[in-house]
Amino acid sequence: MDDAGATISEADEQALLDSIDRWLTRKVAPVAAKFEQADEYPTELVQDMCEMGLFGALIEPQYGGLGLPATAYSRIVARISEEWMSLTGFFNSHLMMALIVQKFGTQAQKDHWLPRFATGELRGGLALTEPDAGTDLQGIRTTARRDGDVYRITGSKLWITNAIEGDILAVLVKTDPDAQPRHRGMSMLIVPTRDMETGAEAQGVVRGRKLAKLGYRGIDTGAIAFDDAPVDARLGLVGGEEGKGFLMATGGLEIGRVNVAARGVGIARRALKEAVAYAQVRTTMGKPIAQHQAIQLKLGEMAAKTRAAELLVEDAAKAYDRGGRVDLEAGMAKWFATETAFEVATESMRIHGANGYSKDYPIERLYRDAPLLIIGEGTNEMQRIIIARQLIARNPV
Q: Annotated catalytic sites, by residue?
A: 377
Pairing of strands 150-161, 168-174: unpaired
- If you ran DSSP here, which 8-state letter would residue 149 be given? T
| Cα gap 103→107, rounded to integer Å | 10
| Cα gap 120→144, rounded to integer Å | 27
For the CA atoms of 365, 368, 373, 377, the dihedral, rounded to the nearest 10 degrees, stands at -110
Inter-residue long-range contacts of 16-20, CB under 8 Å, 24+ positions, other chains counted: 16/72, 16/76, 17/75, 17/76, 17/79, 19/52, 20/52, 20/76, 20/79, 20/80
Give yes or no for a cis peptide into 288 (omega within 30° of 0).
Answer: no
**What is the three-state SS of 88-101?**
HHHHHHHHHHHHHH
β-bridge partners, 231: 151
* One-letter amino acid of 162: N
β-bridge partners, 155: 226
| Burial class, 144, CB count within 10 angstroms (exposed 0-12 / middle 13-18 / buried 19+) | buried
